[in-house]
Amino acid sequence: MSDITKVFQKLKSKGEGALVGYVTGGDPKPEFTTRIAEALVKGGVDILELGIPFSDPIADGPTIQSASVHALEAGTTPQMVLGLAGEVKNKHGVPVVILTYFNPVFRMGVERFFRLAKSFGVDGVVVPDLPVEEAEAYCEAAKSYGVDTIFLATPSTSNERLCKILGCTSGFLYVVSHFGVTGAREALEESTVQLIQRFVPDTSGRIPLAVGFGVSKPEHAKSIIEAGADGVIVGSTFVNIVRKHEGDVEKMLEELGALARELKEAIKSVGKTE
């Protein structure tokens, strides 16, 4: 059983939803990443998602695109982010998920990528631009090193394709809450609740379901868990705080921790128990 699975099971037994917090590795500088991660974990993040900055992040909106540019300008490399993931895992013990586009994995070599990821203690990997139909070798390599492969399902995912995705995903199913790219939103769409309710019958008792894209407020997180999801994924709002206070690190860390606490508090005692 992977560490990601253990966290979801533990939280579910307590009736809590899981809070997955995303930040871009190396933004605004690599030396900030472990301190940012610590603030999020102390605030209540259950699983940390670290992004490998990429020049063409097609699934990301302006906030995370900008973070990738800053991280690349600061000299951040894929190997560096894997190393930072290892530092976070060793210090805090929380599961760490890497989000990357396939190009860096391909250039490094799939086998080498997962060998390095495992050596640094990475628990799972998300690759938004890798279709499940083309992921056989990728999944085999990940499985051989005991790293979870977290695939995405979207509002346009058919029931037939969802079955294929569920046959390959491990750790959790990453549900994209709406059409479009990442980015904080003011309101949670009713269609997101409907999407969760559509997917839950296929995931319940099989794999945790976590919802991301546009989740930015405690009330969003609470509604998502109440709708039947096992976790929420929050990214752009955290990245916005990093950008807003990059000149005042202490203020940045304070606000990151405060938001994480608010989000986590909102999803306590509203999760499913069996």
- So which residues are the catalytic ones? 49, 60
**Can you say whether the dihedral through the CA atoms of 110, 84, 129, 150 is positive or negative?**
positive
CA 59, CA 179: separation in Å to the nearest integer?
Answer: 10
Which two tokens mark 79?
């190997």
CB-count exposure of residue 247 (10 Å: 0-12, 13-18, 19+): exposed
CA 163, CA 76: separation in Å to the nearest integer?
Answer: 37
CB 220 within 8 A of CB 232: yes
Contacts of 77 (CB under 8 A, 6+ apart): none
Closest Cα partner for 120 from 150, 149, 144, 97?
Answer: 97
Q: In angstroms, what CA-CA distances link 178 with 59, 68, 187, 189, 231?
A: 12, 22, 12, 8, 16
Supply φ then ψ for residue 47, to 5 degrees. Answer: -135, 130
CB 20 within 8 A of CB 242: no
Supply φ then ψ for residue 176, to 5 degrees. Answer: -80, 120
CA 18, CA 81: separation in Å to the nearest integer?
Answer: 23
